[in-house]
Structure 1
Amino acid sequence: MTSCPTKRPDAATRRAQLLDAADTVFTQHGVNAPLELVVEQAGVGRATLYRQFPDRHAILLALMERSAQRLHDQADRLKDRPDAFFALLEYLSARIVGSPALSDYWRTAKLDDPRVNALRQRVWSAFGPALERGKQSGLIRADIQAQDISLLSSMLGAALRGNTDAERRRLARQALGIVRRGLQPDADTAAASAASTAASVDSAASAVSAA
């Protein structure tokens, strides 16, 4: 009895396999890790790697494209939730913590690279509909605009300052809490109240000094 020949993985499967390997290697060793480690992690030959990706930058761009697509997929799954914007921020924060090297590359990639800029715009566009739903539902301040998403992402990126996974997770939770409170409509009331209290304290202090 003859056995059936083993089916070889197709190009798409190999590509996904290599990207998974690259994500693991870059997370552990940084984006400048030897590509030989990616080959070993994927269990393929060097020729297979270079058939898919001519250089390191091509791998990083492909990882960024995959991250952007996954963010859009997540946004689509959350499309019926009024709090989807906050859920997407949590998802983005988890990605930043889970892939710190790639996230840092996102942050520092050359601004004059049109492919990188296009990917950044694609990421921000995933938040647009969720932002509008949140504002219409009264969960998000009316003055928050789509262009603010880049700033919010940078605030979440502060988690990258942590030297360990635990520290990055702590900073991510802290940043998320600050961002969430700043986005909520009652933050305006709280800020006005704080300003009023500060003014009252200053006035009282001046009165005491005058007396």
Structure 2
Amino acid sequence: MSDDPVSSSGRAPRRDAARRRDALIDAAATCFAEQGYGVPLETVAAAAGVGRATLYRNFDDREALALAIFSRAVDRLAALVDPALPIAQTIAAMVRTGAGAFSLFARISAELHLDDANRAAFQALGVRMEAILAPALAEAKRRGEVRDDATARDLVLALRMAGSLVLPVMRDDEVSAQIETGLRLLFAGLRPR
């Protein structure tokens, strides 16, 4: 028996399908963070309240599931980019918002087994982040906040470096202090001389 409700047209309603997909992504992020990347996918499906068939209809493998987690994190980070704000403020907000994703990536990156297609998809996320940050970088250059030769790839690297400073066990005040110190050091290298 299927775990998907069926509409009169014989297909699951789109909204329900989207909810199940989101539930799978949420459950996977939690399960990977708590139990490691090797957690059985049946555990992920159960945590999402769906069956294995639904999981595999949405994701070919665990790498596709991890990619979906990080793609959604990029979407959330993109919403924070405001070229009118100082670039350090933008990066700090992105680090705070993306702390869970950065931590999860650090935890599972050594265990990712990427074929060429998944490797290309993960690299495309980096390129997407560069495109998202490019307008903010252009404005930061115009305002003299960063060197003229700074690139969007430099900002992505700064974001990843600052993200690695935030640990799940930190209190909010510790997170703020850590981000502030890390970004001060990082942007010292990006500022015009």
Structures share a fold, TM > 0.5?
yes
Instruction: Describe the SS at the equivalent of 2:60.
Output: coil
The structure whose Rg is larger is: 1
Partner of 1:62: 68
Q: Pick the aligned partner of 1:174 from 175, 178, 181.
A: 178
Cα distance in 1, alignment partners of residues 99 and 140 from structure 2 = 25
Q: Pick the aligned partner of 1:165 from 162, 169, 179.
A: 169
Structure 1 residue 152, shift from structure 2 partner: 1.2
Where do 5+ consecutive residues of structure 1 fail to align? 1-6, 190-211
Q: 1:46 aligned to 2:43?
A: no
- The Cα offsets for residues 60-108 of structure 1, whole Å up to 9 and x where unpaired, read as 1111211222222222xx24x231x323322332255323123444688
Structure 1 residue 59, shift from structure 2 partner: 0.4
Cα distance in 1, alignment partners of residues 77 and 69 from structure 2 = 12
Matches within 5 A, 1:54-203: 54-75=60-81, 78-79=82-83, 81-83=84-86, 85-99=87-101, 100-105=103-108, 113-159=119-165, 165-166=169-170, 170=174, 173-174=177-178, 176-183=180-187
Q: Structure 1's 131 and 167: CA in aligned 2 closer, same or farther, altered over 3 A? A: same
Q: Percent identity?
A: 31
Cα distance in 2, alignment partners of residues 128 and 107 from structure 1 = 29
Cα distance in 1, alignment partners of residues 54 and 160 from structure 2 = 36
Amino acid at match of 2:93: Y
Cα distance in 1, alignment partners of residues 189 and 161 from structure 2 = 19
Moved more, 113-122 or 133-142: 133-142
Normalised TM-score (structure 1): 0.67
Structure 1 residue 145, shift from structure 2 partner: 2.5
Instruction: Describe the SS at the equivalent of 2:79.
Output: helix
- The Cα offsets for residues 16-62 of structure 1, whole Å up to 9 and x where unpaired, read as 11111111222222222222221222111121111111211110111
Partner of 1:37: 43
Instruction: Give the helix-richer structure, 1 or 2.
Output: 1
- The Cα offsets for residues 134-160 of structure 1, whole Å up to 9 and x where unpaired, read as 222233344422231243134224327
Where do 5+ consecutive residues of structure 2 fail to align? 1-6, 8-12
Q: Structure 1's 121 and 142: CA in aligned 2 closer, same or farther, altered over 3 A? A: same
Cα distance in 1, alignment partners of residues 186 and 165 from structure 2 = 18
CA RMSD in angstroms, aligned pairs only:
3.5
8 A contact 2:25–2:69 mirrored in 1: yes
Q: In the comparison of the two structures, how many residue pairs are matched? A: 179
Amino acid at match of 2:137: L
